[in-house]
């Protein structure tokens, strides 16, 4: 009994001392970020001097240069580019749409979806068919031929975590065109992936099924979606006009931008922290995913600034081409096969106030990590949930079983801005952005120190 008691006390003593040391270190990291962070100014430069940076655009290469410089300025021991094949879809003009009912034309705020084909310069005019779900599409498949199908599937407001509403609705954006083309539709319009209170259309990737004709496809703003619903419900003869010059060019060459903070004990073992450097084209990609890029760079800067010496190499990765085909991620995963990776985390859910981490990791390891939550609670993180990492790192887990994670910020505002013209710097709050960086830096410190 005495020996057991002694052992228990020792463990407890060690645990308390260690927790206190960690708590003090994380406080130091937090102060460093709250007082000296470069995350917000870095985001300003990326969004205002580079701007929107859709894969393959000239801004893609300006963003890579920005990333290299920002990583050097943050104190990276090594900065390099990793060549990869990236997609190159282009929208050069303004996408247009309107509906015509009882001889009256009503314009619609639209954006062609990523990968959409062009309508041709004259556009397409065809009768509208309102479809509320894929079930309804199947029931009414005989009515589809020659029509422009308008998918009006709404975000379900009952989901508290808004990404669940996105997950519930996204197949209409991604697969809607080909599912309608199968029955002869000539174009599709999809209600924007949002439950915002404004009318900005939300673009985003779609995928064609090669078995069916490729037809143009667009997203429409929510107010205009509601107008279109009313018009169709009130009038059997509604026509829609759509025009976009969107088109896909051959894949091109791009780069993941990588900066390293070399490990002192295991320099060949990597902890990855990343965001994606590309964005959609309507705005500046501030939340999606400028925030994730500057979060990641800030982790390196802050850990260096407080004099931390990581055991493992902490590798900051600004991934190319996440929004479209994931060319950057594919290349990183391919190279990772030859390396030893401890953990990979992405920030790709916006620069909002943090709430928790989602982790793709075995249950018993997750439970071990959950013991760290009290260390992060003072900075707003209350939950480590099972789930996965961000889109760019998930395959490391799926293919090689490497633990992955993603910062989960509060999701309420994300789909107000996501893939719209208002995903701009002004809609990111400095302190919310910094709190994200604090929590990621703290988690990386704990993973580096204690392993998983």
Active site residue 138: no
Does 430 help bind a second copy (rule: CB under 8 A)? yes
Please state the closest distance from residue 383 (CB atom) to a second copy, in A: 8
Residue 293 phi, psi dihedral angles, 5° rounding: -65, -45
Count of residues interacting with a second copy (CB under 8 A) = 26
| C-alpha distance from residue 103 to each of 88, 114, 382 (Å) | 39, 32, 56
Looking at 260, 284, 298, 416, which residue binds a second copy (CB under 8 A)? Answer: 416
Residue with Cβ nearer a second copy (31 or 105): 31
Local structure of 421: helix, strand or coil: coil
Looking at 127, 184, 213, 380, which residue binds a second copy (CB under 8 A)? Answer: 380
Please state the closest distance from residue 108 (CB atom) to a second copy, in A: 23
Does 89 help bind a second copy (rule: CB under 8 A)? no
Please state the closest distance from residue 389 (CB atom) to a second copy, in A: 23
| C-alpha distance from residue 162 to each of 24, 169, 383 (Å) | 34, 11, 16
Please list, in sequence order, all residues whose beta carbon lies within 8 angstroms of the beta carbon of residue 325, skipping any fewer than 6 positions away: 55, 86, 87, 251
Please state the closest distance from residue 31 (CB atom) to a second copy, in A: 5
SS3 assignment for 151-195: ECCCCCCCCCCHHHHHHHHHHHHHHHHHHHHCCCCCEEEEECCCC
Does 435 help bind a second copy (rule: CB under 8 A)? yes
Does 262 help bind a second copy (rule: CB under 8 A)? no
Please report where in the chains the tokens 């078995």 appear, as a residue.
211
Residue with Cβ nearer a second copy (215 or 369): 369
Residue with Cβ nearer a second copy (113 or 291): 291
Please report where in the chains the tokens 């090669």 appear, as a residue.
210
Q: Which residues, numbered 325-364, are part of the site for a second copy (CB under 8 A)?
A: 353, 355
Please state the closest distance from residue 298 (CB atom) to a second copy, in A: 15
**Would you give the binding string for a second copy spanning residues 189-228, x where CB under 8 A is met?**
------x-x-------------------------------
Catalytic residue among 322, 346, 432, 434: 322
Does 1 help bind a second copy (rule: CB under 8 A)? no
**Could you tell me if 348 and 418 are in contact, meaning their C-beta atoms sit under 8 angstroms apart?**
no
Looking at 107, 167, 374, 378, which residue binds a second copy (CB under 8 A)? Answer: 378
Cis? peptide before 289, omega within 30° of 0: yes
Cα(274)–Cα(78) distance, rounded to whole angstroms? 16
Residue 275 phi, psi dihedral angles, 5° rounding: -145, 175
Q: Which residues, numbered 128-157, are part of the site for a second copy (CB under 8 A)?
A: 157
Nearest to 150 by CA among 214, 213, 225: 225
Does 412 help bind a second copy (rule: CB under 8 A)? yes
- How many angstroms separate the first and last alpha carbons of the chain? 31
Residue with Cβ nearer a second copy (94 or 371): 371
The helix (H) or strand (E) run that includes residue 7 is helix 2-36
**Would you give the binding string for a second copy spanning residues 229-258, x where CB under 8 A is met?**
------------------------------
**Could you tell me if 150 and 189 are in contact, meaning their C-beta atoms sit under 8 angstroms apart?**
yes
Looking at 88, 243, 325, 413, which residue binds a second copy (CB under 8 A)? Answer: 413
Does 31 help bind a second copy (rule: CB under 8 A)? yes
Residue with Cβ nearer a second copy (228 or 435): 435
Beta strand residue intervals within 70-169, DSSP E: 78-90, 96-101, 104-107, 110-112, 124-131, 148-151
Q: Nearest-5° angle of CA 233, CA 235, CA 237?
A: 120
Q: Footprint of a second copy on this chain (CB under 8 A)?
A: 30-31, 34-35, 40, 157-158, 160, 162, 195, 197, 353, 355, 378-380, 382, 410, 412-413, 416, 429-432, 435
Active-site amino acid positions = 322
């Amino acid at each position: 009994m005495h020996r057991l008691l002694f052992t228990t006390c020792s463990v407890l003593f060690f645990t308390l001392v260690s927790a206190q040391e960690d708590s003090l270190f994380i406080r130091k990291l937090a102060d460093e970020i709250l007082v000296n962070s470069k995350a917000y100014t870095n985001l300003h430069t990326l969004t205002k001097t580079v701007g929107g940076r859709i894969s393959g655009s000239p801004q893609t290469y300006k963003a890579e240069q920005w990333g290299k410089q920002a990583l050097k300025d943050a104190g990276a021991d090594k900065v390099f580019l990793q060549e990869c094949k990236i997609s190159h879809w282009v929208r050069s003009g303004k996408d247009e749409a309107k509906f015509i009912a009882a001889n009256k034309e009503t314009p619609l705020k639209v954006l062609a979806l990523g990968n959409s084909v062009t309508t041709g310069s004259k556009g397409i005019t065809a009768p509208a068919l309102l479809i509320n779900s894929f079930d309804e599409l199947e029931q009414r498949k005989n009515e589809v031929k020659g029509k422009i199908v308008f998918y009006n599937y709404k975000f379900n407001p009952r989901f508290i975590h808004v990404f669940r509403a996105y997950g519930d609705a996204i197949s209409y954006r991604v697969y809607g065109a080909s599912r309608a083309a199968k029955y002869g539709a000539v174009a599709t319009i999809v209600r924007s992936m949002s439950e915002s209170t404004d009318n900005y259309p939300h673009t985003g990737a779609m995928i064609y099924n090669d078995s069916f004709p490729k037809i143009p496809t667009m997203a429409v703003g929510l107010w205009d979606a509601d107008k279109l619903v009313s018009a169709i419900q009130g009038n059997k003869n509604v026509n829609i006009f759509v025009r976009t010059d969107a088109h896909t060019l051959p894949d091109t060459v791009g780069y993941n931008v990588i900066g390293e903070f070399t490990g002192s004990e295991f320099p060949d073992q990597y902890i990855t922290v990343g965001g994606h450097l590309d964005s959609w084209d309507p705005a500046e990609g501030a939340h999606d995913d400028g925030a994730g890029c500057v979060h990641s760079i800030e982790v390196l800067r802050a850990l260096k600034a407080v004099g931390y010496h990581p055991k493992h190499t902490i590798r900051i990765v600004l991934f190319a081409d996440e929004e479209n085909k994931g060319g950057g991620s594919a290349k990183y995963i391919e190279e990772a096969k030859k390396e030893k990776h401890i953990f990979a985390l992405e920030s790709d859910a916006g620069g909002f106030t943090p709430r928790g981490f989602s982790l793709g990791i075995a249950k018993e390891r997750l439970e071990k990590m959950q013991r760290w939550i009290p260390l992060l609670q003072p900075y707003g993180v209350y939950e480590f949930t099972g789930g996965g990492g961000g889109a760019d790192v998930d395959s490391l887990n799926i293919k090689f079983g490497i633990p992955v994670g993603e910062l989960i910020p509060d999701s309420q505002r994300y789909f107000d801005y996501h893939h719209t013209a208002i995903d701009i710097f002004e809609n990111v709050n400095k302190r919310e952005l910094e709190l994200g960086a604090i929590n990621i830096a703290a988690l990386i410190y704990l993973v580096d120190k204690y392993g998983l």
